[in-house]
Structure 1
Amino acid sequence: MGLAGIFAGLGLLIWLSYRGWSVLVLAPLAALIAALFAREPLLAHWTQTFMGSAAGFLASFFPLFLLGAIFGKLMDDSGSVQTIARFMTEKLGPQRAMLAVVLAGAMVTYGGVSLFVAFFVLAPMAQALFRAANVPARLMPAAIALGTSTFTMSALPGTPAIQNAIPMPFFGTTAFAAPGLGVIAAAIMLGFGMWWLRRAENAARKAGEGFGTVTVDKHMDASADPVVRERASTSGSFDPAEATRGGHSDREPGVFIALLPLIVVVLVNLLMALVVLPRLDTDYLAEPRFGGISIANVGGVWAVLVALMAAIVVLIACNWNRLPSLRETIDAGANASVLPVVSVASLVGFGAVVAAMPAFEMVREWVLGIGGGPLVSLALSTNILAALTGSASGGLTIALDALGATYMQLAATTGLDPALMHRVAVIGAGTLDSLPHNGAVVTLLAVCGTGHKESYFDIVMVGIVGALLALVAVIVLGSTFGSF
């Protein structure tokens, strides 16, 4: 009965979340159903297990959601994202429309800008480029997704994406875990994705297919569609309802000023993770008032936080006259972080209740018994949970909450590098999360003015197939040569 309750709760969560119901209500309800089937105390699991785990996620990651959303909104309202996208499109031109869109998206998201902010900026520019080059508009979502939602989210070392930060407290790693393998994975995702897009473009030209009649709504109010908003809030770190709020500059900065905050994010993150924090005396963290931890548990998160704070200061200082409503912009960014972080925390709470059920031991044994070793089972568990929840961050946290300590024990006994597990887990979570119900997919299609029928297959190829190829390569190389 306990196992049936787990599947019943999960089924209800998936079914109703697909239809736009709030995960804030669904997650505790699904958790209570699982506990009811197992004849476990309902209120205790709600207030102690569910809320305790959700609160733990908030305590660990809310600062990252908050600063990331504020930084993304400041980049948008200052005109910096538009400058970078325009620079790439002007340099590469319509003849390289695909590459221009992909690289523009990669540049801003690797620097810390939320993919939802990037969507609203890149879609109109992609439309202009694709129209000029007479490339089918149905390929716009795949090009944007390749640049914003694949290798810069899960593979490139140092990316401040929340998905890359989640494994750090579990494995004691930094955002630069397994950098060589991350670069190889990123090259596979980018190379395969660009090959597929060029192939699709050439096939369309041979068939005489042109741009079409798609119209991009630059100022689409995502809050007007509650289904889009609910799905988006569980799959990203920015509430799209805030994308059009605040005060947008009517003057764009120069390209160097626009790029400078992104450079600061990467360099400060690297400096903090590899130079500053290792040299600090952090023995005080072992005291009970700080949780009795070590710098390995928080160092990666601290490095990203300091990097984002430094970038925000530089951004404001360089764009003071281009931020007409600074307070409103910061407020919009802060508000944009709340619904996503609480939504993901609710998914984490549901996962904690499921993991506390006696029947979950059967699931644990099945996962750990998967052939191929711990890297394969880790990849499959994050893949499956990200697919079921429609959220890379939610699925990843649930998997690591339930199995992270077990994998660390396996690493200690087998000599497996936690950095390798970090990279496998993140790439694994960023594959099957891009199923049709994923909030990023739904929002991107809506912003681009296309639908699943026209554009989703190409998203699958660049966002799922390419990521799976990279994941297999990382597992094979990591198993053969270790982490590097």
Structure 2
Amino acid sequence: MTPETLGLLGIVSGLALLIWLAYRGWSVLLVAPAAALLASAFAGQPLLASWTQIFMGGAAGFVSQFFPIFLLGAVFGKLMDDSGSALAIARTLTDRLGRERAVLAVVLACALLTYGGVSLFVVAFVVVPVADALFRQANIPHRLIPATVALGAFTFTMTAMPGTPAIQNAIPMPYFGTTPFAAPGLGLIGAAIMLSFGLWWLSRVTRRARLRGEGYGPTSTSAVGTGDQLARERVTTTDTFDLAESARGHQSEALPPFWLAVLPMLVVVGINMAMSLAVLPGLQNGYLAERRWGATSLAAVGGIWAVATALLTAILVLVLVNRRRLPVLRKTINAGANASVLPSLNTASVVGFGAVIAALPAFALISAAFLAVGGGPLVSLAVATNVIAGITGSAAGGLMISLKALGGTYVALAAQAGIDPELMHRVAAIAAGGLSSLPHNGAVVTLLAISGATHRGSYRDVAIVMLIGTLLALGTIIVLGLTFGAF
């Protein structure tokens, strides 16, 4: 057997071990280095050096770049939850739109919360009970709750909407020198496609269920408690919030008015935009080229600074306007901070695994296969990100691995082809939300459990709104981008 064949066999074996053990609840902190060492052993690479020099270097690089977003995002999400702001928004929208438009109400509630910076699974825990009551009143099948929540929380506001503070929108920024508002027009078009397609499909399924006489139907008990370790391990590679911390702190029984509840989220969007488009570009930043500041540039760090500043400002505003609703503020903030640690380290471990794989000689064959995909750098980037995110079952992990391994190559190819880096950013972000939604995805598994649903009853609709809608949007964005450029 040739060294190349052994190396490829090692990569496949490492991936299989990672997927199999992680899906069964083994900690990714242990599984990822074990899978990386298995792949290194097949390739005849030094094991300890692969672990301490390559794996840990990749993991540490991810943490050093993105932990501020994990930290501030988790604290903001916990404060929105404990202050009652998230629940106030969900109830107001569902009450205003009513049971006649139950699906639209749940989708918009999830979308508003996630675009405003609230963690995906804080949103899920808040909105699922509201959706359950609304669907029961409207006699809509309970099995459609996961797909409805997924459409609002896991699709267009995660990857397509310009300015979204989601980690999937932040990861491409250092590689392409872009901001969270990269290719805003194309992002809005992609978001509109995902939203309209998803609503059309859910409306179609609901209408057919009524024609068959299918009502709300039986439900199973939610399998996820805040201490459920299996759900905890699965979800922490797909979100910025550790479920174990959701019961800590104190949730306010007195909800704020709607306008006060949305104020912090408006701050996130407004400050993010101001920092990205006006404040940071106007600052003197030559000092960043010095070695003590990392010998970097504003293009590499400005996007992270903008999101971090927006979240920090929103946290301060949220605390000021809801101080009476946060009687144990220290515990709430500590719980949010603690909730950021496991997700960031788990995702970093997946990235470390990817760094080891990318360093193996056999990975050159895989890189060549991705780069040989027809259609140019945009199509190749979309395919590579989709495939790797699908294998790992993580949009953030897959996106980071693909850009860590091939980002420099894609930057060079885009420059040669005259492709705007903003277009590359938006394609990469949207692509991360495609095949990552396969059944082993932690977000999918945990959402089904939170909803008291099963793969058999609900996954088909989840996959259609997440996967098909995203691929339709991705294809459209690539065609428009190649025709008209970034806008």
**Fold match, TM over 0.5?**
yes
The answer for the alignment partner of 2:409 in structure 1 is 406
What displacement does 1:49 show?
A: 0.6
Structure 1: distance between partners of 2:227 and 2:420: 43
Given that residues 248 and 324 in structure 1 are in contact (C-alpha distance below 8 angstroms), is that contact kept between their aligned partners in structure 2? no
The answer for the alignment partner of 1:39 in structure 2 is 44
Aligned residue identity for 1:163: Q
Aligned residue identity for 1:221: G
The answer for the alignment partner of 1:93 in structure 2 is 98
What displacement does 1:220 show?
A: 4.8
The answer for the alignment partner of 1:456 in structure 2 is 459
Deviations 1:360-407 (A, max 9, x none): 111111110111111111001111111111110000000000000001
Q: Decide which of 417, 423, 429 is 2:420's aligned counterpart.
A: 417
1:227 has 2:223 as partner: no
Q: Decide which of 421, 426, 431 is 2:429's aligned counterpart.
A: 426
Q: Decide which of 165, 184, 188 is 1:183's aligned counterpart.
A: 188
Deviations 1:82-128 (A, max 9, x none): 00001101110001000000000000000000010001110110011
Aligned residue identity for 2:292: R
Deviations 1:287-344 (A, max 9, x none): 0011111100000000000000000000000000001211111111111111110000
Structure 1: distance between partners of 2:452 and 2:31: 29
Structure 1: distance between partners of 2:131 and 2:138: 10
What RMSD over aligned residues (CA atoms) do the two structures have, in Å? Answer: 1.0
The answer for the alignment partner of 1:18 in structure 2 is 23
Structure 1: distance between partners of 2:328 and 2:435: 39
Structure 1 residues 462-477: aligned runs within 5 Å: 462-477=465-480
Q: Decide which of 375, 391, 396 is 1:393's aligned counterpart.
A: 396
How many positions carry a matched residue from both structures?
482
Structure 1 residues 32-71: aligned runs within 5 Å: 32-71=37-76
Q: Decide which of 348, 354, 357 is 1:354's aligned counterpart.
A: 357
Aligned residue identity for 1:122: V
Percent identity between matched residues is 62
- The answer for unaligned runs of 5 or more in structure 2 is 1-5
For residue 236 of structure 2, give the secondary structure of its aligned residue in structure 1.
helix
Structure 2: distance between partners of 1:158 and 1:216: 37
Structure 1: distance between partners of 2:322 and 2:34: 46
1:293 has 2:303 as partner: no
Structure 2: distance between partners of 1:307 and 1:230: 29
Structure 1: distance between partners of 2:398 and 2:422: 19
Structure 1: distance between partners of 2:360 and 2:39: 8
Q: Give 4+ residue runs of structure 1 displaced > 6 Å after superposition.
A: none
The answer for the alignment partner of 2:206 in structure 1 is 201
1:72 has 2:77 as partner: yes
The answer for the alignment partner of 2:264 in structure 1 is 261
Deviations 1:37-67 (A, max 9, x none): 1111111111011101100100000110000
Q: Decide which of 174, 178, 193 is 1:173's aligned counterpart.
A: 178
1:130 has 2:135 as partner: yes
Structure 1: distance between partners of 2:316 and 2:21: 41
Structure 2: distance between partners of 1:317 and 1:362: 55
The answer for the alignment partner of 1:151 in structure 2 is 156
- The 10-residue stretch of structure 1 (150-159 or 327-336) with the greater mean CA deviation from structure 2: 327-336
Deviations 1:440-460 (A, max 9, x none): 111111111111111110101
Given that residues 123 and 140 in structure 1 are in contact (C-alpha distance below 8 angstroms), is that contact kept between their aligned partners in structure 2? yes
Deviations 1:222-254 (A, max 9, x none): 422x22111101111111121222111111001
The answer for the alignment partner of 1:6 in structure 2 is 11
What displacement does 1:6 show?
A: 1.2
Given that residues 123 and 216 in structure 1 are in contact (C-alpha distance below 8 angstroms), is that contact kept between their aligned partners in structure 2? no
Structure 2: distance between partners of 1:371 and 1:412: 17
The answer for the alignment partner of 2:284 in structure 1 is 281
1:479 has 2:482 as partner: yes
Normalised TM-score (structure 2) = 0.98
Structure 1: distance between partners of 2:438 and 2:245: 24
Aligned residue identity for 2:442: G
Aligned residue identity for 2:308: L
Structure 2: distance between partners of 1:214 and 1:324: 35
Aligned residue identity for 1:312: I
Structure 2: distance between partners of 1:26 and 1:476: 39
Aligned residue identity for 1:41: P
Structure 2: distance between partners of 1:311 and 1:291: 28
The answer for the alignment partner of 1:443 in structure 2 is 446
Structure 1: distance between partners of 2:471 and 2:318: 36
Given that residues 141 and 459 in structure 1 are in contact (C-alpha distance below 8 angstroms), is that contact kept between their aligned partners in structure 2? yes
For residue 234 of structure 1, give the secondary structure of its aligned residue in structure 2.
coil
1:272 has 2:256 as partner: no
The answer for the alignment partner of 2:383 in structure 1 is 380
Aligned residue identity for 2:414: A
Structure 2: distance between partners of 1:51 and 1:387: 23
What displacement does 1:437 show?
A: 1.3
The answer for the alignment partner of 1:81 in structure 2 is 86
